[in-house]
Structure 1
Amino acid sequence: MKTYRLEFTQELPADLDTAWDFFSSPLNLAEITPNNMTFEVTSPNMANTKMYPGLIITYKVSPLFGIKLNWVTEITHVKDKEYFIDEQRFGPFSFWHHQHHFEKVHDGVLMHDILHYGIGWGPIGTIANALIVNHKINEIFKFRSQKVEELFGKF
């Protein structure tokens, strides 16, 4: 299976505590995901939950063509106010490993995402990535960047 790597960086005009509190809350993920994905956290009792290693989060999401899929991720690593990692356990990808890094910089926070993913399906997956998946993931992160600017402001 071929794996792909994408990186995204964004500076936030916010203090580290504020940024960490927002991004470490599973329910806020829906707020920074495009509406057309009909993203919904389905895990019970997540209202005051913060990320911790071993946390399982379940979602319903429509990544392509309006087809609703179940997605299950596990938070595998957390270093408070520095990073957390989510890994897919069940869902649309054969492999999903997403690192979320936070670093205090001059007047704000540098947020850096490193995403490794795989689709599977051999040559069909390679073609699907080239035609659809890579573009869709980049669109999602572009939306997220714009939404984060709306929420936190822009440098």
Structure 2
Amino acid sequence: MKTYRLEFSQKIPVSLDTAWDFFSSPLNLSEITPKDMTFDVTSPIQKDTKMYTGMIITYKVSPLLGIKLNWMTEITHVKDKEYFIDEQRFGPFAFWHHNHHFEAVEGGVLMHDILHYAIGWGPIGSIANAVVVNNKINNIFNFRYKKVEELFGKL
């Protein structure tokens, strides 16, 4: 099975505490996801809940053609104010491993995402990645970049 790796970085002019507080809340994910994906957290999560190791989060998401899919991720690692990792347990990918890193830098925070994913389906999955999936993921992170700038400003 072919796996793919993408990396994204962004600096924002906020404290590490502010960045961590926002990004470690599962309910804020829908705020930084394109509206056309109709991303809804379906887990019974309270507004002030923060991610923790072993946390299971369920979603409904429409990645393509408005078709709603169930997605379940587990937060497998958390180091407070440094990083957390989510891994898909059930969902649209054959494999999904997403690192979210946070580092205090002059004037704010550097956020760095490392994503490994696989589609499966052999050569058909490779074609799907080249034609649709890679572009869709990049578009999601481009949207996220702009939305984070809107919410927190530029550094």
Q: Could you tell me the TM-score, scaled by structure 2's length?
A: 0.99
| 1:72-114 alpha-carbon deviations (Å, 9 max, x no partner) | 0000000000000000000000000000000000110000000
- Structure 2: how far apart are the matches of 1:125 and 1:46? 37
- Aligned match of 1:74: 74
Query: Structure 2: which 5+ runs fail to align?
Result: none
Task: Describe the SS at the equivalent of 2:65.
Answer: coil
What stretches of structure 1 of length at least 5 have no aligned partner? Answer: none
Paired-residue identity, %: 79
Whole-Å separation in 2 of the counterparts to 1:125 and 1:10: 29
| Correspondence for 2:20 | 20
The offset of 1:49, in angstroms, is 1.1
Look up the match of 2:146: 146
Q: What SS does the corresponding residue of 1:116 show, helix, strand or coil?
A: strand
> 1:67-146 counterparts in 2 under 5 A?
67-146=67-146
SS of structure 2 residue aligned to 1:49: coil
Name the amino acid aligned to 1:118: A
| Moved >3 Å (runs of 4+) | none
Q: Deviations over 1:21-49 (max 9, x none)?
A: 00000000000000000000000133221
Given that residues 27 and 45 in structure 2 are in contact (C-alpha distance below 8 angstroms), is that contact kept between their aligned partners in structure 1? Answer: no
Using structure 1 for the length normalisation, give the TM-score. Answer: 0.99
